[in-house]
Structure 1
Amino acid sequence: MSFPFFLTRGTGLLALAALLLPFGASARIATGPGHPLADVVGSGPCQEFVARLPNVKSQLCADAELLPTVGRSLQGRTLYARDVVAPDAKIRVLVIGAMHGDELSSASLALHWIQRAVETPSNAHWRFIPALNPDGLMMRPARRMNARGVDLNRNFPTPNWTRDAKVYWEQRTKKDPRRWPGPSPLSEPESRYLHDEMQRFQPHLVVSVHAPYGVLDFDGPGTAPPKLGRLYLDQVGIFPGSLGNYGGVHKGMPVVTVELPSAFRTPLDAEMRQMWLDLLRWMSERVVPEDNSPRVVPERVKKAG
């Protein structure tokens, strides 16, 4: 298969070119064989990211070498991504930050983990989307929903969405505007982009970074990671239209949801590193490709005696 964002450090000139374009200028950069070209508009995301995100310095963002994708937010902001591909890559892992715009630390963690992936990619082809909801992220104050007021993590096409999402929102959340699932599944350009990207990339594992509950959640087949750093498994349930429900339960793509303890502060650098190492260890033991389909190996049941 072709990889639309196949990047190594040697292709950093493309990212640098995108960052150096003057505001308002535009150009086109090919994102891979067989894929549409992506417009590069403005000066790239780093200026805004550094000003907005906790624990993100200019060098960290520049080193991330983010490239524009074909994705756009409702307000027209470019969605950026980075691929890091191990020489012996056998599995594909999609990492998503800032699906909720007011969870600033989730985008920061994704950028820090790009650096970790470059250093220790394991056997994976990593695809990072650090900020799926840039409109919500860049609002003052930042807000959970996108520019239309839709909770992107309730907008995925789970079975019976039309019935269940409306009922859940009205009866369980009392029409909480922060959790409005939208008028229809995939009504938002950001959720449509991620849905289409999952179809293109066919990840064996999805890691979705959120905050601020300080736990791990897991949806899908197989055995969940017991911990990442100081975050321990505490499954919070299944919601109509959520990515975990859609990807993990409906599509069979295991989804690990990382809930950081704070939406406005990242864990210490050493803790983020330990979380990364724990993720790699679990992946090496549990995530196995089988006929190009995602599979997480279940734990063996120990017999008494």
Structure 2
Amino acid sequence: FQVWVEEEIAPIEILYRIRGPLKSDDHRLIDVVKKQYILPPSLLPYNLAKPQATDYHEHSKGDTWGHIHTFLKNVFSDEPPGFFVEAGALDGEYLSNTLWLEQAQGWTGLLVEPDGTNFHHLQNKHRKAWLSNTCLSKDSFPKEVVHVSRTLRDGDRSVGIPWNTRGSSHEFNVDVVPNTSLLAMVSEESYSVTQCLPLDTLLLALNVSTVDFLSLDIQGREKDVLRTVPFSKINIRVIVVEIVEENVDHDFLDFMQRSGYVLVNEDTVPRLQDQFYVRKDDERLAQKLKRVVFKWQQL
């Protein structure tokens, strides 16, 4: 019979333990995350796509970016600088949901991107935010997962654009891209082991308890991650989450309501691509949203 004593665990064991169950607020885990899994905001000038690279900027306004950007402008244009978290940050510019907040509104935050190639490009953009080359854990503890990266085959531009060579990036067996899709057929897969961390672990490492805007686009794990968030300890004011599914998940909507959020949307039926959630008790945002096109909906 061996008694486990917290203080006697060697540092090397902590490095192994973060691959499996370990409490998300363990002080030794927080220390490791600070030292090894978070990079500070860049002090260098931005290294964004040149203004003449119009194709990049035009394509970067595709998909649902414009819808999200309009929402953010309505909500945060007259707000003081806040703190954001964007998981699935890509290169920090293409389809970024937080770059405008950082550049135009003076915000800072945390950018999480598990794909190695995307993260390399993210570092080179010199964002004024913290960076983490990890994924968000679907459990309330850190763990390692097999990560799949899709890269468009050399010279194949039938899908994507020159700046978007990454087909998609996702946790193994959690792929929102059907194998029969054109994207799947023209891309090659590579595999790597990636460290996943609970969102609250990353925020504890940064000593942050209020997140003004959380953007989740993590290829099928969004709802799982949100179910692990200790909302009683972290004040997340606005959440934009990509959910790609054919039918509305009423169980998840009920969960978000119980967690203290209301769904804000242009229509009476939630968009199946992006869902917008705002804390019920944030009166300042509630009054603001009632005055614009987005309706304040009781779930």
- Higher strand fraction (1 or 2): 2
TM-score w.r.t. the length of structure 2 is: 0.32
The structure with more radius of gyration: 2
